[in-house]
């Protein structure tokens, strides 16, 4: 009863403090306080949302991604967590399309966005509008992720590399028409083999849409039947400037090309995904031109050497041939002598082994072989012999007939 009385008193006091209409009616006193606001769940949630959005219009937060999912809508849903707490996160399609790398569970990131409440669930969350990896640049992470993916698919395998033609009749070039790369390529090609034909497919090599243009140009060249080799690239620049050649669409276009592709992106220290997929990687656009075309002067000199060898008098070659013949004859005789010496030594060794195993060798030491006359078996014991038996004794040199006179003397 005391427990129930205490509980009743507490409820009654609470109603009086809050100005409960029922408590006022029971006491008979006029109401002194206004009736408290009674919120619906929706109203309260909207108020909490307004408070959070007012206090956190923008915020930076770091954490580890978990429970990442991307439904058909294209939006990203995930949880940011640390050792003590977690935060529901959403990144809508318009914002996440700007991320160059791939979000995945376990990735440490730094996100920017605004705090709000998802009223349907009454759950507070962050709406992310920017995300970057923690401790590593976004582009570098995207590069490593795509490199790993394509490598596992076999796009970098040496078995898929196509050989370059020795002397191409026409070279396709995919690059900017106004950049230094095309000028360097044409200059080197003219110096090495001035009659080389070049077909340029002009494209943007950086900025939005550049990767798609490069890929489309590669496809266009593959529709022709007069292109023997292709140079794809641009001059040097920052990682952001070269990024079009790190895009997956360009990598897959190069891999699908039936025409051998030489990548020529940036400077010698620059490496792009296109370099790994291409059939040959050139350190610079100028080097690419040197790779695809031999020097005309070198070819002419080689042809002249072959001509001199072709029309050289056969009589002038006789002394060389005779000396070579003598040399071969001497080597043959020496080899034959070595062969027979070795065979002779082996034969002597075999004969020596046979001689040691021969019964005659044993007889030469004073032993003899005794058999009954008319029997081929050698006697090993005197058992079975009787007086008067005739024996044949074989010595190392010669034989004789002996007669058993009696038992042996003990």
- Decide: helix, strand or coil at residue 171: strand
End-to-end Cα separation, the chain, in angstroms: 134
Question: Tell me, what's the pLDDT at 24?
Answer: 46
Residues 6+ apart with CB under 8 A from 108: 62, 63, 64, 65, 133, 134, 135
Which pTM value belongs to this model? Answer: 0.54
188 with 290: CB under 8 angstroms? yes
Question: Tell me, what's the pLDDT at 312?
Answer: 61
State the Cα–Cα distance between residues 146 and 102, nearest whole angstrom. 9
State the Cα–Cα distance between residues 191 and 286, nearest whole angstrom. 11
Give the DSSP H/E element, type plus range, for residue 198.
strand 197-202
Closest CA to 248 of 100, 72, 93, 98: 100
Question: Tell me, what's the pLDDT at 21?
Answer: 47
Question: Tell me, what's the pLDDT at 3?
Answer: 37
116's tokens: 């709000």
**Judging by beta carbons within 10 Å of its beta carbon (0-12, 13-18, 19+), is residue 282 exposed, middle or buried?**
buried
Question: CA distances (Å), 322 to each of 295, 308, 311, 332, in order?
Answer: 38, 21, 20, 15
Question: Tell me, what's the pLDDT at 313?
Answer: 60
Per-residue pLDDT of the chain (410 residues; tens, 9 = 90+): 333 333 334 334 444 544 544 444 445 555 556 788 888 898 898 988 898 888 888 999 988 999 999 999 999 999 999 889 999 999 998 898 888 888 889 888 889 999 999 988 889 999 999 888 887 777 888 888 899 999 999 999 999 999 999 889 999 999 999 999 999 999 999 888 888 899 999 999 999 999 999 999 999 999 999 999 999 999 988 888 999 999 999 999 999 999 999 999 988 888 999 999 999 999 999 999 999 988 777 666 666 666 666 666 665 666 777 778 878 888 888 888 888 888 888 888 887 777 666 666 666 676 778 888 878 887 777 777 888 888 888 877 788 888 878 766 55
State the Cα–Cα distance between residues 262 and 249, nearest whole angstrom. 17
**Within 10 Å of residue 115's Cβ, how many Cβ atoms?**
20
Residue 407 CA, chain-centre distance (Å), reads: 94
88's tokens: 């529901």
Residue 410 CA, chain-centre distance (Å), reads: 93
Give the DSSP H/E element, type plus range, for residue 11.
helix 2-18
State the Cα–Cα distance between residues 221 and 164, nearest whole angstrom. 16
Q: What HEC string does 34-54 produce?
A: CCCCCCCHHHHHHHHHHHHHH
């Amino acid at each position: 009863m005391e427990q129930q009385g205490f509980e009743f008193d507490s409820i009654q006091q609470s109603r009086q403090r809050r100005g409960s209409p029922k408590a006022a009616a029971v006491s008979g006193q006029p109401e002194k306080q206004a009736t408290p606001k009674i919120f619906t769940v929706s109203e309260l949630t909207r108020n909490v949302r307004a408070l959070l959005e007012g206090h956190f219009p923008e915020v930076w937060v770091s954490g580890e991604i978990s429970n990442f999912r991307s439904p058909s809508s294209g939006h990203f849903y995930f949880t940011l967590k640390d050792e003590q707490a977690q935060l529901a996160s959403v990144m809508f399609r318009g914002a996440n399309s700007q991320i160059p790398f791939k979000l995945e569970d376990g990735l440490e990131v730094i996100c920017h966005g605004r705090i709000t409440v998802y009223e349907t669930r009454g759950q507070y969350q962050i709406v992310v509008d920017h995300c970057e990896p923690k401790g590593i640049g976004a582009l570098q992470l995207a590069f490593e992720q795509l490199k790993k993916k394509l490598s596992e698919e076999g796009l970098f395998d040496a078995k898929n590399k196509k050989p370059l033609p020795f002397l191409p009749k026409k070279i396709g070039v995919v690059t900017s028409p106004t950049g230094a790369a095309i000028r360097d390529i044409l200059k080197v090609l003219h110096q090495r083999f001035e009659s080389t034909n070049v077909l340029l497919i002009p494209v943007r090599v950086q900025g939005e849409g550049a990767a798609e243009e490069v890929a489309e140009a590669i496809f266009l060249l593959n529709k022709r039947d007069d292109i023997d080799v292709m140079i794809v690239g641009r001059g040097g620049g920052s990682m952001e400037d070269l990024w079009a050649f790190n895009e997956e669409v360009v990598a897959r276009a190069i891999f699908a090309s039936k025409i051998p592709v030489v990548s020529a992106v940036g400077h010698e220290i620059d490496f792009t995904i296109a370099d790994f997929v291409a059939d040959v990687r050139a350190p610079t656009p100028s080097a690419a031109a040197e790779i695809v075309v031999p020097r005309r002067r070198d070819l002419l000199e080689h042809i002249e050497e072959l001509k001199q060898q072709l029309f050289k008098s056969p009589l002038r070659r006789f002394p060389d041939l005779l000396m070579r013949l003598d040399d071969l004859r001497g080597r043959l005789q020496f080899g034959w002598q070595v062969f027979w010496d070795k065979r002779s030594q082996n034969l002597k060794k075999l004969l020596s082994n046979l001689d040691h195993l021969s019964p005659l060798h044993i007889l030469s030491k004073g032993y003899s072989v005794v058999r009954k006359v008319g029997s081929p078996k050698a006697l090993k014991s005197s058992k079975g012999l009787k007086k008067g038996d005739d024996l044949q004794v074989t010595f190392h040199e010669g034989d004789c007939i002996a007669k058993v006179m009696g038992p042996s003397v003990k």
